[in-house]
Amino acid sequence: MLTAFARAFRTPDLRKKIFFTMGIVALFRLGSQVPTPGVSYETVQQCLDAAGTTGGSAFQLVNLFSGGALLQLSVFALGIMPYITASIIVQLLTVVIPRFETLKKEGQSGTAKLTQYTRYMTIGLAVLQATGIIALARQPGGLIPNCPQPLIPDDSLFTIVVMVFTMTAGTSVIMWFGELITDRGVGNGMSLLIFTSIAAGFPTSLWQIRIQSGWDVFAIVIAIGLVIVALVVFIEQGQRRIPVQYAKRMVGRRMYGGTSTYIPIKVNQAGVIPVIFASSLLYLPSLAVQLADRTNPPGWAEWVNRYLVSGTHWSYMLTFFLLIIFFAYFYVSITFNPTEIADNMKRYGGFIPGIRAGRPTAEYLDYVLSRITLPGALYLGIIALLPIIAFALIGANQQTFPFGGTSILIMVGVGLETVKQLESQLQQRNYEGFLR
């Protein structure tokens, strides 16, 4: 494998793509450290140190995807989260709006149009999120818990407008960086930027565990992390292959068909989307509590803060687990259409051995999909609860226990996809490929 990496760097065009990707990633990390105009950088650092760098629970997911840039209110504070949200919304709208569904079926031109809609929606969401975050940063303790003073000393209208414009422009630049990596670099640009943001916090998180619990716990966490990564790779690569055969047919004077292939149905067909959906939905009550009256909190705020905000409470863990299972089935149902696949197979003369074409094939695919989604959903729920379990055992959370939850799922998934792309590009020049 190391020799394959060496061959990748010795190949001129591939080396150019790798260095280009590394340069864009370096610019992305640089922008994550540059503070937004109008923010008191000293106050932010003091409040982060006092809060233990964990920040508000309502913003842990966004802060994770931004590589810690959100709580520092940097130029790239919003990170890639507005683009992810817009992409998910557009993908869901393809099921609801016939126009979007038609564009999806039009091929490259339709995909380009949907991408343009995603960009417009990203800008709109960035403006809304930037406005909300700045409104919270103006209040003491609004963005960072127990912060005694506001993070924005001058809250004039001009300063707020400049900050909203800067953060929105930062999101646009991140979106441009991701598309540049996809077109001229290696791997999927947006996924690699998320990977970079999460990986940037790994050294600090691990060292924080070493400081809090000592070398013994640190070594145990590393060992557990390696086991978790191996299990995640095993599950992510697992799939059910449904055999498909195509009957021979004459088209003019030529014979077509007679081949056999398979439909791959992954164990984790939904990916990391159910965890993101469930986390975002559970952060809404926490955000509502933060916006409520703090001097005299209402009864509902105390109830929500006790049962739905406290990450170690059994009600929070059970709700989180059940939401992940629900969204796993929901997302798979809208992204994998057994009826459409069965119709396409019937149109081209394909069939599953022992299953009649048409409706019986769709029912069989739905039967297999519903049963293989259950272990995938349970796997997602267990992985997502690992940071909460770690918090109960060693006092770590999503920020200080990186081997679990959304972070490990994204890192392993993006790593596998990037390795596959490098392998495919090396196989074009050397049949031995990436792994001998």
Query: Average pLDDT for residues 396-418, to the nearest whole number?
Result: 70
Residues 178 and 246 in one domain: no
Range with lowest mean pLDDT among 134-143, 161-170, 320-329:
134-143
Residues 292 and 360 in one domain: yes
Backbone angles phi, psi at 239, to 5 degrees: -155, 155
For residue 69, give the CATH number of its domain: 1.10.3370.10
Q: How confident is the model at residue 55 (pLDDT cuts 50, 70, 90)?
A: very low
Separation of alpha carbons 342 and 226, rounded Å: 40
Domain assignment present for residue 2? The answer is yes
Domain assignment present for residue 409? The answer is no
Q: How confident is the model at residue 305 (pLDDT cuts 50, 70, 90)?
A: low
Residues 277 and 177 in one domain: no
Q: What contacts 77, CB < 8 A, 6 or more positions away?
A: 36, 66, 69, 70, 130, 133, 167, 170
pTM of the model: 0.75
Range with lowest mean pLDDT among 105-109, 140-144, 189-193, 384-388:
140-144
Q: How confident is the model at residue 312 (pLDDT cuts 50, 70, 90)?
A: low
Residues 127 and 174 in one domain: yes
- Parent domain of 96: 1-200+428-436
48, 89, 276 from 333: Cα distances, Å: 41, 15, 17
DSSP letter, residue 58: G
Residues 146 and 170 in one domain: yes
Domain assignment present for residue 239? The answer is yes
Residues 79 and 138 in one domain: yes
| Number of structural domains in the chain | 2
- Residue 8, pLDDT > 50, answer yes
Domain assignment present for residue 65? The answer is yes
